[in-house]
Amino acid sequence: MTTSLLNNPFFSSFLHILFLLLHIFNSSSFFALAEHTSSTTSLSGNNNTEAKALLQWKASLDNQSQSVLSSWVGISPCINWIGITCGNSGSVTNLTLESFGLRGTLDDFNFSTFRNLFVLDLANNSLSGTIPHEIGKLRNLALLNLYVNQLSGSIPREIGLLESLNELNLASNVLTGRIPYSIGKLRNLSFLALSTNELSGPIPSSIGNLTNLSELYLWDNKLSGPIPSSIGNLTSLFLLYVWGNKLSGSIPQEIMLLESLNYLDLSSNILTGRIPYSIGKLKKLSFLGLSYNQLSGPIPSSIRNLTSISELYLGHNKLSSPIPQEIGLLESLYHLALSGNKFHGPLPSEMNNLTHLKVLVLDTNEFTGHLLADLCHGGVLKIFTASHNYFSGSIPESLKNCTGLHRLRLDWNQLTGNISEVFGVYPRLRYIDLSYNNFYGELSSKWGDCRNMTSLKISNNNVSGEIPPELGKATQLQVIDVSSNQLKGAIPKDLGGLKLLYKLLLNNNNLSGAIPLDIKMLSNLQFLNLASNNLSGLIPKQLCECSNLLLLNLSGNKFRESIPGEIGFLLSLRDLDLSCNFLTREIPRQLGQLQRLETLNVSHNMLSGRIPSTFKDMLSLTTVDISSNKLQGPIPDIKAFHNASFEALRDNMGICGNASGLKPCILPRSSKTVKRKSNKLVVLIVLPLLGSLLLVLVVIGALFILCKRARKRIAEPENEQDRNIFTILGHDGKKLYENIVEATEEFNSNYCIGEGGYGTVYKAVMPAEQVVAVKKLHRSQTEKLSDFKAFEKEVCVLANIRHRNIVKMYGFCSHAKHSFLVYEFIERGSLRKIISSEEQAIELDWMKRLNVVKGVGGALSYLHHSCSPPIIHRDITSNNILLDMEYEAHVSDFGTARLLMPDSSNWTSFAGTFGYTAPELAYTMKVTEKCDVYSFGVVTMEVMTGRHPGDLISALLSPGSSSSSSMPPIAQHTLLKDVLDHRISLPKKEAAEGVVHMMKIALACLQPNPQSRPTMEKISFELTTKWPPLPKAFSTISLGDLFS
């Protein structure tokens, strides 16, 4: 039967078919297996290539960065590698390392390896170098974010090859050059940010090709030329920020085609012409910024169509004509700024409809008429400034009841009314200026209820009555100016409780009585003007406790007896006026200690005797007036007296010297004759004795010389010329020495730019027009340099220090006549000088201040951790930090810096400046890096508060205050915003985050225990990483919150 089946043709066919099917099945399985194996091999190879590329880039970063990327090990980046995301194919698609503190470059990043990369986010790091051209190989990239790094060079044109890009953010770097024309190829872009760089040239017209763009940030660059008309093609644009450039020409009409715009900011450019009437087409605008340009003409009436607008900034242009009544239709408006223009006429009554206004800025125009009757009808007004106009009439009732006011400026108008009746109580008020008006009446005790007020200015009015003692309850006051009124009575002693007060101006009134001794409690006081009153009694010697005084004016009063010598302890004093009093006796010699004094007036008193010889040290003095006294003898041999006019020296008992109208000082002839006769008698008696004595001395001298020569043969010879050191890098030292002496005219005081404990600083312009700063050391310092060779070696080390935030030391010259250090010249001068100047301090905005602190931190980190051996500065103060024209900080004065050698015993001498030195120096005298850290904390707080924070530090860091459980009341109840520099507006957004972060760091630096303070390396890292977001609203953050 089996044989018959095999011979059966049907069965035979069945077997053939069966074998054929089995063969097909096996073949397909084989090919499938082969294909799978091939795919797996390819995928593994791709992973290996990407892993090698990432590890190669990691190896190029600094050690700290490599530590952060410690999970990057092995050959599988898709498995637990931090910041890496892979797609289904197993290839890297997302590389996100935002805010990881990475330091390095992109030079070793192999872009060509990552063909499937979709997201590259390296924002908020410290990457430097250029953006490589190879970045154009990331053809699938949809998001490129390099925001907040230190990338430099130009934007490569290959960026235009990334045609899949949806978001491109290169903001907050130091990129230069032009925006590449090829950027117009990125037609899928919806977000483009190139702001806060140093880009120049025009905005390329190709930008009009980016028709999908919704947000465009080009602000804070150096872009120039007109705004291209092609910008009108960006009809999807929601936000356009190009402020802070050098764009010129008129506002293009094509911008009015961007009907989707919500935010338009063209401020701080050089735009001219009129505001286009067609601006009314931008009906969705909620923010319009055109301030700080050169726009002219009226505000167009078409502005009525901007019914969604909430913020309108037109300040500081050349706009004119009255305000159109149509502005009253913008009922959503809460911020209106029109200052610094030529607007005139009365305010339209329709502006009373703007009940949502929080900020109204009208100052520096030519407005007339009355203030708006319903100015604060909505009850939300916080800031109202209308100074420097011609407003008249009384204060509207709505303003009296405007309890939410924070800032009010009505100075320089023609307003009138009883000041005790037309103003109310403003519990949130921080700043008020009513100066130069016609207000009358008495100062109300209610001003003392404004507990947050930092500045009260009511000068040049007709205010009468007494200064209310209740004013002492406004403990946040920093400025009181009620000068040029008709105030009478005594100065209340309660003002002594105003610990933060730095300016007290009570001059030109009818105040009487003595200066209260409580004034000594005003340790922050810098300006005290009590001139032109009827004050009497003695000048209190306790004034010397106001050690920060820059100006003291007590002229035009009835003070009697002597000038207290303690005034000589006011070492910061710049201006001293004691004229027109009844002062007697001699001028105290202690006044010669006022080496920073620039103006001195003691005229119209009854001072007698000679001018103290100590006045020869007052080299900063430029103006002097000693007229109408009973002074006699020679005038000091300094420039101020030599250049003084005869009127400033006249009407004295017999002063003489080299000055206009004075007789030369010559000894009487009779005394010369007597002296000559007595000299002859002495010669006759002494001559024989001298002969004998001379013979003895010759013998002794010969023996001494022989002994000395014998010693000299044994000892190593020392050439006197060896003490003439000329260590100037890259220069002929001797020649440079001669050039400097010539450039400063033998260190003439005309070239003096500063004075320190170790020497005097001069400005020297060299023959090649190079400007240098020369610190001529006091002779007492050069005499201490016993080992000149060691010192020369040390100077060479210091001269080789190179850091962008450290003043370059070019070298040292030591000569028998002069010894000096040569430094780089920094244009703006010291941080202290800038902070002390009202005008310059306003220019130093919050971002500049934060950058100053970052720069100083970076410099100290370099000195402590990058120099071998480490260098301690020992005298970090605001006076030793110089700012260049770009407000970049440079740490200066290595006159006190020494190389820190391990186990050295040479670090036991006290160094530093009082108020900046660490507390442990009072008992250990051991200088360590942590002393610099403490000084850095003081300087940081000084930058933020605008004054030396001595009292604030004492209050915050009293014993036990470092723990939250025993935190002092000042920390718990004082808001941060109330201690910040009031001369600039409160910080916002990023600046606010930076201020809070840096104040926290400052407090950490000020810990009494040195071991609890952070290192400068850690501080520098904290300063350069992304600042943490605010834990709550900035206005509610207390000093206590900074300890957490």
CA 998 to chain centre: 13
CA 988 to chain centre: 16
CA distance linking residue 529 with residue 510, whole number of Å: 14
Listing from the earlier edge strand, what are the strands of the sheet with 246-249? 200-201, 222-225, 246-249, 270-271
* Cβ atoms of 286 and 308 closer than 8 Å: yes
Contacts with 963 (C-beta within 8 Å, 6 or more apart), sequence order:
none
Task: Return the bridge partners of 575, or none.
Answer: 551, 599
Q: Given the DSSP bridges, would you call strands 215-217 and 239-241 parallel, antiparallel or unpaired?
A: parallel
CA distance linking residue 872 with residue 928, whole number of Å: 7
* Cβ atoms of 193 and 172 closer than 8 Å: no
CA 599 to chain centre: 28
776 annotated as ligand-binding: yes
* Concatenated DSSP letters of 605-627: SEEEEEPPGGGGG-TT--EEE--
Rounded (to 5) percent helix, strand, coil in the chain: 35, 20, 45
CA distance linking residue 873 with residue 778, whole number of Å: 19
Q: Given the DSSP bridges, would you call strands 503-505 and 527-529 parallel, antiparallel or unpaired?
A: parallel
Written as one letter, the residue type at 683 is V
Q: Given the DSSP bridges, would you call strands 829-830 and 881-883 parallel, antiparallel or unpaired?
A: antiparallel
Mark whether 875 is an active-site residue.
yes
Supply φ then ψ for residue 44, to 5 degrees.
-60, -40
Angle between helices 989-1005 and 929-945 (to 10 degrees): 140
Secondary structure class of 536 (helix, strand, coil)? strand
CA distance linking residue 534 with residue 807, whole number of Å: 50
* The one catalytic residue among 481, 577, 625, 875: 875
Secondary structure class of 901 (helix, strand, coil)? coil
Written as one letter, the residue type at 1005 is C
B/e letters for 698-714, b = 16+ CB within 10 Å, e = fewer, are: eeeeeeeeeeeeeeeee
* Cβ atoms of 814 and 782 closer than 8 Å: yes
CA distance linking residue 299 with residue 303, whole number of Å: 8
CA distance linking residue 171 with residue 985, whole number of Å: 25
* Cβ atoms of 682 and 697 closer than 8 Å: no
Secondary structure class of 708 (helix, strand, coil)? helix
SS (H, E, C) 354-372: CCCCCEEECCCCEEEECCC
Strands (E), 322-454: 335-337, 342-345, 359-361, 366-369, 383-385, 390-393, 407-409, 414-418, 431-433, 438-442
Listed residue (774, 938, 798, 760) closest to 856, CA to CA = 938
Contacts with 910 (C-beta within 8 Å, 6 or more apart), sequence order:
921, 925
Secondary structure class of 353 (helix, strand, coil)? helix
Q: Given the DSSP bridges, would you call strands 174-175 and 630-634 parallel, antiparallel or unpaired?
A: unpaired
Supply φ then ψ for residue 328, to 5 degrees.
-70, -10
Torsion of CA 561, 565, 571, 576, to 10 degrees: 20
Question: Residues at the annotated binding site for ATP?
Answer: 776
Residues noted as catalytic: 875
Question: Residues at the annotated binding site?
Answer: 776
